[in-house]
Structure 1
């Protein structure tokens, strides 16, 4: 979108928009406010702002992380920083945890820091808001974000097959004889990986002819405490689950602690399966089975895709990486009582 488009939408002359942008005094306050609202609505960056962006911070790349307490992204951030530093760029890190739409937060971050490019680690980005990111004309990589294959000229994605990986993990529990399998997931507001991992859980149950029991599905969040509280809820059921699948290792560790605090055994009484492949899960006792994501590779490729876009002006890539199911001590066959 250019200045002519803004003028057309606002119903004013191009010269009026120009005077507003240059803060000329000969524009009424009502007209000025109207034009500024249109500019904000369409995330318009004036040509002079774009030139300033290139002139002021051509070597600055932003990394926006969803949340504050999820250690999943730690190694990924290090891999990104190492690569962009070798290429002569600097990195500015932003943890987004306020109740602001993730797309709006990314736009605000780009404008405020005048970023040359942006990598978003996690978050809820939708096809419906893609046009807002496209309007910035700044290279963006969405990592650990599933857009269903949707990209654009300036937006690329690096992800895994979340639904398939979750389905494979739950199917493994079913092969061990588990029929009552609990799910610790995120709320319906999670339109990305949480939704897909929950769908994978449901797919595995349906394929095995197991009826989906909504009482075994507990909405939570990506924290130890949320996993702990969700598990306590399941333990209070008249018929508790024999296995619990948590859509992140952080949640799974909370689940494991709740089971042990209740005087139960893992896996003899309840098996536990996580997702991510965090070091924490390996050193919990007993070690937690999990779907391992290639974290370092995801970070490295995210930086490579962004840097290549900056250099070649060609974006819109979709990279899908493989996962690995790690079988550990927290899962076993159902033990007959």
Structure 2
């Protein structure tokens, strides 16, 4: 007899049984009584020694990062690592690429937790909407997702999120471009497998176009692979095929810079003959010529909030939360008014 058997007999999730055993306050009395009755009937004795070892001796917090190269995550990681060290824990970092794993981020997360015997996990990036809810219920440690799609369908009581509203941010960005006089607006997404962030941002883009009665041209939606070179090649191909485009909205600053190089190589003067908008607010954008107009994500606050929330969850002082932070437009020189 183990905790999974108790959960099955009680008709609840494994995490609920765990909360009852640990005397969490966030369990309904009716549910608690039901679980305790099953425990009594089955003469179940919890493995207290294992739980004590888990709570007292393990001082590891995992950080699971999607993608090897992401400067936005790199800046956040510096803050997260410092925060983890400051509270007396050790950070265990793991990068992964779901394109080679069939997009199965959930299994990567579960394997990471089991192999490293973690007390908590922060996930940077990814799309966990495919993971079955029952699989999340097997996890007895707190999970905080950040820079992940803010509209996942699974039960958000099973984990916490610190994120932005990606659809709203992309909508506001596209609206800004339209109000600058642009109608032929292209958008560069990450990759075709990104059903989370890219999907929400393209939805915001299309919503703004629709609101202003601008037809959606599918040829204007391209992939840039979240890197300089594929963004460069994609932008070059796009602008050669559709020279009427007056602005490109890239959903990462790295792709924007790659696309800007393609614009220059094709003979366009960025910020005068053609416009370019990025997303993230990376420092590198200030040193691009012309300086990159971008949508800034509050990376520092996201990283600090992740650590603060995870500590509260580990110490059982707080329940799971869904924190949505605001973005802001940083207006520089790469977007100009379109005069027609």
| TM, length-normalised to structure 2 | 0.82
In the alignment, the residues of structure 2 paired with residue 285 and residue 90 of structure 1 have an alpha-carbon distance, to the nearest angstrom, of 40
Q: Which residue of 2 aligns with 1:273?
A: 277
In the alignment, the residues of structure 2 paired with residue 127 and residue 321 of structure 1 have an alpha-carbon distance, to the nearest angstrom, of 24
* Residue 185 of structure 2, aligned match among 181, 184, 187: 181
Secondary structure of 1:312 counterpart: coil
| TM, length-normalised to structure 1 | 0.82
In the TM superposition, residue 215 of structure 1 has moved relative to its aligned partner by: 0.8
In the TM superposition, residue 315 of structure 1 has moved relative to its aligned partner by: 3.2
Superposed, 1:67-146 pairs within 5 Å as: 67-97=67-97, 99-100=100-101, 101-126=104-129, 128-146=131-149
Contact 2:150/2:164 (8 A) holds in 1? no
Contact 1:146/1:157 (8 A) holds in 2? no
What are the ranges of 5 or more consecutive residues in structure 2 without an aligned counterpart?
Answer: 10-45
Change in Cα spacing, 1:324 to 1:147, as seen in structure 2 (3 Å) is closer
In the TM superposition, residue 127 of structure 1 has moved relative to its aligned partner by: 6.3
In the TM superposition, residue 51 of structure 1 has moved relative to its aligned partner by: 3.9
Q: Which residue of 2 aligns with 1:29?
A: none
Q: Which residue of 1 aligns with 2:168?
A: 164
In the TM superposition, residue 238 of structure 1 has moved relative to its aligned partner by: 4.4
In the TM superposition, residue 226 of structure 1 has moved relative to its aligned partner by: 1.9
Q: Which residue of 1 aligns with 2:66?
A: 66
Q: Which residue of 2 aligns with 1:316?
A: 320
Aligned residues: 299
Q: Which residue of 2 aligns with 1:4?
A: 5
In the TM superposition, residue 156 of structure 1 has moved relative to its aligned partner by: 0.3
In the TM superposition, residue 109 of structure 1 has moved relative to its aligned partner by: 0.8
Secondary structure of 1:212 counterpart: coil
Secondary structure of 2:315 counterpart: helix
What are the ranges of 5 or more consecutive residues in structure 1 without an aligned counterpart?
Answer: 9-45
* Residue 298 of structure 1, aligned match among 302, 318, 321: 302
CA RMSD of aligned residues (A): 2.3
Secondary structure of 2:241 counterpart: coil
Contact 1:273/1:288 (8 A) holds in 2? yes
In the alignment, the residues of structure 1 paired with residue 335 and residue 53 of structure 2 have an alpha-carbon distance, to the nearest angstrom, of 53
In the alignment, the residues of structure 2 paired with residue 57 and residue 231 of structure 1 have an alpha-carbon distance, to the nearest angstrom, of 52
Contact 2:296/2:328 (8 A) holds in 1? yes
Q: Which residue of 2 aligns with 1:36?
A: none
In the alignment, the residues of structure 1 paired with residue 205 and residue 148 of structure 2 have an alpha-carbon distance, to the nearest angstrom, of 18
* Residue 256 of structure 1, aligned match among 260, 272, 284: 260
Change in Cα spacing, 1:80 to 1:209, as seen in structure 2 (3 Å) is same
In the alignment, the residues of structure 2 paired with residue 90 and residue 268 of structure 1 have an alpha-carbon distance, to the nearest angstrom, of 49
In the alignment, the residues of structure 2 paired with residue 238 and residue 198 of structure 1 have an alpha-carbon distance, to the nearest angstrom, of 19
In the TM superposition, residue 295 of structure 1 has moved relative to its aligned partner by: 0.5
Greater mean alpha carbon deviation, residues 54-63 or residues 291-300: 54-63
In the TM superposition, residue 5 of structure 1 has moved relative to its aligned partner by: 6.6
